[in-house]
Structure formats: structure tokens, C-alpha cells
Amino acid sequence: MEKETAPPMELEIPGECQYAGGEPAVVRPSQPTPRHTLYLSNLDDQRFLRFSIKYLYVFAAPAAVSADALRAALSRALVDYYPLAGRLRPSDDDEGKLVVDCNAEGALFAEAYLPGLTASEFLRARARPHKSWRKLLYRVEAQSFVAVPPLVVQVTRLGCGGMILCTAINHSICDGIGTAQFLQAWARAARADHHDDDALAPSPFHDRHALRPRCPPRVVFTHPEYCNVSATGNGNDTGLLARLIGQPLVPVSLTFTAAHLLRLKRQCAPSLKCTSFEALAAHVWRAWVRALDPPGALPVKLLFSVNVRRRVKPELPRGYYGNGFVLGCAESTAAQLTSSSPWSARYVVRLVQEAKECVDDDYVRSMVDLLEERRGARPDLAASLVISAWTRLGLEELDFGAGTPAHMGPLTSEIYCVFLPVAGGDPHGVTVLVSVPQAAADRFQHCCLVFLTDTDVDAKLS
């Protein structure tokens, strides 16, 4: 396997965005929309989801469309997805909960120009987000998260004629599947041929009462993702890992092709049928623990989202775009995760599978009830790797009428791990993006790629 001798490029965006008109426009639904208060389920209204999902898309010049066309299409899309044009506020009837005031105040739409950057320059260093990328999304000055509009958009025209589209979508209103559903609806509204797709596209289902808590609540599972890690050994193990994660973080990006994933499944779990996600999640989890090198007795968790739309009874309606997931939780000691035993990889894949398998209707209802009893509860992240899978959402296929993006990914690199689709490349490939302590970055990369021993299957490092 060939390895890069130079570190991956990192792009610091030069200059500042020049905003058309100085302030963003307010885009309201193009037709009258229902005025009411939208109830948010306990899965929506979790404290750890009170942020915006920030997507970044790069379109080369041939695939770019005008800001006017995007703005007009957004206005049409907001007719169906009108809660995104509303505003969050505290509930009048349920202390500590949020609701959406569907008042059609509108989304924010900023139009900018950045002549000192081209799409090709961005694409050469696209894999590792830099803090300067934040200038590509209009910063809303607000006193709190609740005061930020649920949808903020910035379209930045580049010197080459290409464009960068950034969207910030409130996670309390949509999960990943829901954001993808909305973005595809926006893209269809921008395409001249969108009527051909309308019959296949799901209509948004707004109501969230299918996930309301029981009365009285019945918490019948332990829900380890919300349990505090108990330090073992000398009592300082959890603190040690926290200090490691507290070091300066650097983003690491690795792309696994379909051939890599097949090789990984064959080598890591030859006698076990598993999905690419299960094999890759287990592999990245083990590499992360090896790179951090915590005490062997420390319990370490892997948290990842499990779509529950078809796991609850009755199933959630087609088009449900609210938060329809719970966190799957696999747990083991650091020593077991990093064991060199030939059965270790299989063992870890089974942990991931079992964490998925336990999520059924009873588990989801118990989770909803737990959040009813413990308002403000947050997942335990003391010694946990969190994986958010953005693959299989169709985000890399977003087409506003002139072509698909040359790149899609997060605006910033966070402490959790993101599995990304490969835009314009291998349709079955996955890019793994995760920030790790600087001292552990090289070791993490090595641990991720060590299984690629044959020279005919080289790691594609971004």
C-alpha cells in the first residue's frame, strides 16, 4: 500500500464574502400556509439536538444556477415544508419543551460573492474542513439557539462561475433523512422537469404525535447510551480519556472505495454476514480506541443513529421528516476492542449488530418515556465515539437543474465521526471524516488503513 508522504492539503479561504445588499433576504412561502403550533416529539426536543445541521455543496460552473432561481424555488418548497419558515419557541403548556410556531416568518437567504476562490481550488483541498469555511454561511446574531431561524441559506458565487451552497437546518425539526427529503424537494422545485418526479416524491408528514410519550411513562430498558460511564481501575480512566479528547483536534479524512469495503468485510468478519456500515463502524471504532490508547479496563461506547421509521408499530407515515431515530449503543472495554485476537474484529462487528437489533418498538417507546421523565437528559459522551451516517440519503445527487455537486460534506469538522457519500465518484464508496487529538491523528490513520496490505488496493487519502 502506498502512503502519502505529505499531509493532506487544508484550505484556508482567502478574503471575506461580499454580500449582495448587505443583509440576507427573508424568503417566505409563495402561497398561504397553515398557521398553528407544531408539537415536537421527545426525540425532536432532545437537548443534544439543539443545533443546526450544516451542509456544504460545491457546484462547478456548469452545474451552478442563479441565486434568483434558488430563492424562487425555495419559496415554493416552503409551501409544503412550512414549519421551516416558522420559529421555535418555548411551549406554553409543557415546561421545558419547545414547539414550532408556524407563522411563515420565513427562511434567511444570503447571496454572496467570493472572487478570490474557484471551485477547483476548493476541490483540491475539500476533505478537511477549516475554520475559515464558516464564512460561507451567514452568521445570525441571536441571543439563543431558539432565536435562530430554522433554515438559513447562503449561496456564494465563486470567481470561476461556480457556487458554494451552504444550508443550516434546525435539527430539532428534521433529522438527516428529513433534511435530505426537504433538500430534494427544493431541488425539484428548481428543475423545469420537476413534475415528472412529483409522483414518486413523498409528501411531508408534519404531525409528531405518533412518538408521544405514554401516560404514565414506562422506562423498561436501561438505555446505556444515557448512562454515565463508571471509571474502573484507579478511578481516573474516564478523566484520562476526556483529557485526551480535550487536546487540540485535527480533522482526518479517509475515503474507502467499494473495493476497500468489500476487503474490510472479508478480512474483519469472514464468517459473519454484515453490512458495509457495520463493518466500517466497527473498524473505525477500534482504530479510534487504538489511537487514543486509553486504559484497557475503561468501558468505551460507540453511539450511532438507528432509523426507527419502520421499527415502531405502527410504522411512521411515509414522508415523516421529524427526528425518527434513536441512538444505538455498543459498549466494550478498550482492551477487548483493541485485542489482536483473530476473533476480535468479528466480536466488535457483532456488538454493532446487536446494538441495532435491540431497537424495536418497545425500545423506542421506552426511550421516548425516558426523555419524558428526564427532561434535558443528554447522551453520555465521556468515552464515546459518535458516528453520523450521511450515506444513502441522496445528498450527493442534489440537482437544482444544471447538475450534481462536485463535493458535499459538513461545513465544519466536529468531534463526532461522519460517514459521507463520495460526490461524483464511487457510488458505493464512503468518506470517513472525524476530528481526533492532534497527537493521535497519524496513529488513527495508520490503524484505519493497516488492513489494506495488498498493493492493488491502495487507500485513497483526501
Query: Roughly what angle, to the nearest 10 degrees, separates helices 258-268 and 276-292?
Result: 80
The single-letter DSSP state of residue 416 is S
pLDDT digits (tens, 9 = 90+) for 222-245: 998 887 533 333 334 455 556 666
How would you classify the pairing of strands 25-27 and 325-333?
Answer: unpaired
Farthest CA pair distance, the chain: 65
Give 14's pLDDT tier (boundaries 50, 70, 90): confident
Contacts of residue 1, defined as CB under 8 A and 6 or more positions apart, other chains included, come to 449, 452, 453, 454, 455, 457, 458, 459
Q: What number of residues does the chain have?
A: 462
Q: Which residue has the higher pLDDT, 345 or 382?
A: 345
How far, in Å, CA of 381 to CA of 358, rounded?
A: 21
- The answer to whether residue 29 scores a pLDDT higher than 70 is yes
Catalytic residue selected from 399, 426, 442, 458: 399
Cα gap 432→287, rounded to integer Å: 12
SS3 state at 318: coil
% of the chain residues with pLDDT over 90:
70
pLDDT value of residue 198: 63
Q: What is the pLDDT of residue 229?
A: 37
Averaged confidence pLDDT in the chain: 88
Using the predicted structure, report yes or no on whether residue 459 has a pLDDT greater than 90: no
Torsion 159-165-168-171 (CA) sign: negative
pLDDT number for residue 460: 44
Confidence at residue 456, expressed as pLDDT on a 0 to 100 scale: 39
Is 61:162 a contact under the CB 8 Å cutoff? Answer: yes
**Do the Cβ atoms of 108 and 152 come closer than 8 Å?**
yes
pLDDT at 197: 60
What's this model's pTM, rounded to 2 decimal places?
Answer: 0.91
Q: Cell 431561524 belongs to which residue?
A: 149
Residue 154 · residue 137 · CB < 8 Å: yes
pLDDT in tens, 54-90: 999 999 999 999 999 999 999 999 999 999 999 999 9
Average pLDDT for residues 305-311, to the nearest whole number? 97
What's the rounded Cα separation, in Å, for the pair 137 and 13?
Answer: 13
What pLDDT does 343 receive? 87
All three cell numbers of 272: 459473519
* Phi and psi, residue 83, nearest 5°: -60, -25
Residue 456 bears catalytic tag: no
Percent helix, strand and coil across the chain, each rounded to 5?
A: 30, 20, 45
171 a catalytic residue? yes
* DSSP result, 159-219: TTS-EEEEEEEETTT--HHHHHHHHHHHHHHHSTTTHHHHTTSPPPB---GGGPPPSS---
- Chain centroid, CA 317 distance in Å: 22
- Residue 190's nearest CA partner among 65, 29, 56, 63 is 65
Q: pLDDT of 318-352, one tens digit each?
A: 999 999 999 999 999 999 999 988 888 999 999 99
User: 116-125, 298-307, 331-340 — which is least confidently predicted?
Assistant: 116-125
- Dihedral pair phi/psi, residue 461, rounded to 5°: -95, 130
Catalytic option among 44, 45, 80, 171: 171
